[in-house]
Amino acid sequence: MFDVVPFDSRAGTYALASLHAVCFPKPWDAAAISALLVTPGTFAFAHEDGFVLARVAGAEAEILTLAVAPLARGQGLGRALLQAVITKAAKMGAAHLFLEVGVDNPAAQALYGGLGFARVGTRKAYYDGGDALVLRLSLPAKFA
């Protein structure tokens, strides 16, 4: 349904930073995204309306950020981006995939829960005073 492709950092990160800016109150700029993309094990998948940035270190992987433009939400793009990361992280040898999500973000919690992520902890005051749930998915994962 969605043409989600590996992001080639040579293409530049300004588009990713622009997407991040419409999705988050404290967005990452192109320099921050570029700095993450050059660290070992870090990769991204992108679409014109969203992207996901993740990294694998040993047997663990983590979602660093997932951004989907507000007008594109609820159409399956976030799920497609996450499925691409889940598949790649497993191929890279990760046994678990982690992420944090705000306790005040039920839509994202539903997205992650629908893919099989389960709560394993809480980070107090993680997002500017707001708590975050720590979620984990065992890999390889099967999705419907």
Residues annotated as catalytic (active site), given as ranges: 100, 112
**Four-residue CA torsion sign, 92, 16, 6, 79:** positive
Q: Name the nearest CA neighbour of 135 among 144, 143, 105.
A: 105
Backbone angles phi, psi at 120, to 5 degrees: -125, 0
Cα diameter, the chain: 37
| 130 beta partners | 127
Surface-to-core class of residue 89, CB atoms within 10 Å of its CB (0-12 exposed, 13-18 middle, 19+ buried): buried
- Asked if residue 137 lies in contact with residue 118, where contact means CB atoms within 8 angstroms, the answer is yes
